[in-house]
Structure 1
């Protein structure tokens, strides 16, 4: 089972932090999210795995380096979700491929998603769930997607950023240009292809679209079941804090961090390698 991680985007809503690192390399509990996604795919039996990159791509290349079953697709221009997948057609071959966004943290069973797609006879399956903030997609009773736009009557579902598709669908995308995968699906829907949705439940999911989303993810991991550990205060390797350091509610300190004197941090994520100056008092923010 082949898979692809979409990791080429600019992360515009995460500026200024995404000017320093591509969004899939944002640390989650001091570990780049991309590594978790790759490990998750491997645990469900997906290999080889292709990762595309464009924005700050050198950082992704440096992180992944030569790894067994991991391939990099470096894109010289922004291609969008559809354009990136179109470029990967030779890698995909002819069997269904699972494609996931590189900015989501979730507990969805990816192997079950792939199996359900293969049994369904669909040409593409988008994994959907109920998430009111993003509910836009409408389906027929037989599971076929009929509308991607918000508004109108009937139940709407949110796209998780996970999909399984027949790579042959991508042939209509012009090579080497920016293209949205949803436009590809719209094309095929008008021509009778089965572009379907499958609804998942009982899982955790979030995207890291904004700084607040990123902070909320850490709050969940540090303070809520089933993720939380013994302490809501996470520290990576080689962390040095002054004796009078105060921490409240929850906190994530990455590796190789020094926190100065008379500092107070509350609901803060501090990236690796940072020195927090003396007298710093911060709440609900990211220190990069």
Structure 2
């Protein structure tokens, strides 16, 4: 399986840190958010990774290179300064996946978990599987509801989308490369009962503000995570 890390975010709420670096290059603990994801994917056996970028994309390209110094194979998908939004970024990167299923991870999150749980073979009639977490304080209204038996997802208040999902390439085929949000695609899949969910096993953090960044660093230090 191949993977994509979404790294095109500007990070307005993390200024002034993100005045000079892209949001996924912010350090938590002793390494960049991007690098945490790459090393965890590698440990799970996923070494072919594409990383999209927009704001200060050269910083990401220079840092990661071809991935060889981290023991992986990195491909870059540079979108230009304004980015293509989530679905647009995936559509631009689609040839990298060669028609196969793939995993996508938001680069501005920190996940203390075994990433092998994301190596999921989609069942017949399942076009995407999204990983869900308990609603954090900043998203108490939630994003999705989950049927515990069928695993089918619909828009609702029960859980928050973690930013991790496994997709069939067919979900994004046929679209032009342009700005496109992800939510309407999720809603379409849910209407067709092709969107399924799974509770993420581990601890998940959105690193979208200075306060949340401090919370992640406190967690890493208190749990001796290296």
TM (norm. structure 1) is 0.70
> For residues 166 and 35 of structure 1, what CA distance do their matches in structure 2 show?
25
Q: Is 1:5 matched up with 2:5?
A: yes
TM-score by length of 2: 0.88
Does the C-alpha gap of structure 1 residues 228 and 83 become closer, same or farther in structure 2, counting only changes over 3 Å? Answer: closer
Q: Deviation per CA, 1:198-225, whole angstroms, max 9, x where unpaired?
A: 1134x22111110001111111112x23
Point out the structure with max Rg over C-alpha: 1
Distance 2:21 2:213 in 1: 14
Divergent runs of 4+, >3 A:
117-121
Which stretches in structure 1 are left out of the alignment for 5+ residues? 151-155, 230-288
Instruction: Supply the RMSD in Å over aligned alpha carbons.
Output: 1.9
Tell me what 2:213 maps to: 214
What residue in structure 2 maps to residue 256 of structure 1?
none
Aligned to 1:81: 86
Structure 2 residue runs without a partner (length 5+): none
2:164 counterpart of 1:162: yes
2:128, 2:136 → 1: CA distance?
23
- Deviation of 1:112 after TM superposition, in Å, equals 2.1
| Number of residue equivalences | 217
Q: Using the alignment, how far apart are the partners of 1:120 and 1:131 within structure 2?
A: 29
Question: Does 1 or 2 have the higher relative contact order (CA < 8 Å, sep 6+)?
Answer: 2
**Residues 1-288 of structure 1: pairs in structure 2 closer than 5 A:** 1-68=1-68, 69-76=73-80, 77-115=82-120, 117-118=121-122, 122-133=126-137, 134=139, 135-141=142-148, 142-147=150-155, 150=157, 156-175=158-177, 177-190=178-191, 192-201=192-201, 203-222=202-221, 224-225=222-223, 227=224
Structure with greater proportional helix content? 2
The Cα shift of 1:35 comes to: 1.3
Question: 1:193 and 1:171, CA in 2 relative to 1: closer, same or farther beyond 3 A?
Answer: farther
Structure 2 distance, partners of 1:113, 1:120, is 17
| Structure 1 counterpart SS, 2:122 | helix
